[in-house]
A = this chain, B = another copy of it.
Amino acid sequence: MILTVTLNPAYDVTYRVERLIPGEVHRVSSVEERHGGKGVNVSRVLTQLGIPTCVMGFADASFANTVGLPHDLVPALPHVRRTVVIHADTATSFWEPGPVAAAGSAHALLDRLTARLPSATGVVISGSLPGGIDSDLPARIARVAVDAGLPVVCDLDGDALRCAADVSGVVLMPNSDEFGRLGRSVEDLIAGGVRAVVATAGPEGMTVTTVEGAWSANVPEPLTGNATGAGDAAAAAVITGLAAGVSWPSLLVDAVATAAAAVVRPVAGEIDLDFRDRLLPTVVVR
């Protein structure tokens, strides 16, 4: 059982319009709405891979009741924010601000998580924080899970990433922007006790650096598609490999193929399993 933690989930809404013209009224031709948030997407990919998972973190009752995945969410939020993406010739996004979590939410989440650790095989902590939550909460969750002997993957940003980088034994998976904002070298992080840094080099490649060495892997050909959600798919593969005790090189091959299988699907949280299977033997690792 892999636990994923999403502290600031979202409803991801996609509108299709012919052209986006500022100042005009647009009749939307199609509307898609799904339960999102990076951890939720990780759990979706895990489910597709046949790995038992539980969505944890914060939400409201309505989100929890309709997420369609095994979940144990603290009803900490007055509402769940939306992200609206207008698809025309380009994608234009509008991100609602996150709501403010109720007092005591962090404590309630740590309690629920602690109760689930004995039956867990790994933890993924992803995404942003709602208002009212200290930025060290992901680090505190990570420490509790690492102390319980579990592999922990963190895909965080800003102060939350900064705090998590000080937790010995965590695997960090920031994207290149997030890593740039952290302002620390991979070597420094590993020397400080981070178990591994998994860095994406576009949708086609990935690098992992550990105390034992560094490996890179990439798909043989460029991909076209939707890179949103590729990082979440990679995180699903990484935690699955870590939970199973797979070596870094073969884990990396899996992560690259799984991320690529997300790129070829139009929506975040979905992977093309056949494409992944075909791609796996072609991934080059060095």
Interface flag for A88 (CB, 8 Å): yes
Q: Say yes or no: is A180 at the interface (Cβ < 8 Å to chain B).
A: no
The answer to the question of A280 belonging to the interface, with a C-beta cut-off of 8 Å to chain B, is: no
A27: shortest Cβ distance to chain B, in Å? 5
A90 and B28 form a contact (CB under 8 A): no
Considering the chains assembled together, what is the distance between the CA atoms of A27 and B128 in angstroms? 13
The verdict on A259 contacting chain B, using a C-beta distance below 8 Å, is no
Number of copies: 2
How far does the alpha carbon of A70 sit from the alpha carbon of B29 in the complex, in Å?
33
**A93-144 interface with B by 8 A CB criterion:** 93-97
Which residues in B have their C-beta under 8 angstroms from that of A30? 97
Closest chain B CB from A34 CB (angstroms) = 14
A residues sitting closer than 8 Å to B (CB atoms) are: 15, 17, 20-31, 84, 86, 88, 90-97
Nearest residue (CB) in B for A23 is B90
Docked-complex contact B25 and A95, CB < 8 angstroms: yes
- Check B31 against A96 for contact (C-beta < 8 Å): yes
Contact present for B22 and A90 (CB under 8 Å): yes
A70 vs B28: C-alpha distance when bound (angstroms): 31
**What separation, in Å, do the CA atoms of A120 and B231 have in the docked complex?**
59
**CB < 8 Å neighbour of A88 from B17, B22, B88:** B22
Partner pick for A26 among B15, B29, B93, CB 8 A cutoff: B93
A28 to B15 CA separation, bound complex (whole angstroms) = 17
B17 engages A94 (CB within 8 Å): yes
**Are A92 and B23 closer than 8 Å at their CB atoms?**
yes
Chosen A-B contacts, 18 in total, with CB atoms closer than 8 Å, are A15-B84, A20-B22, A21-B92, A22-B88, A22-B90, A22-B92, A23-B91, A24-B92, A25-B93, A25-B95, A26-B92, A26-B95, A27-B95, A28-B96, A30-B97, A31-B96, A31-B97, A84-B84
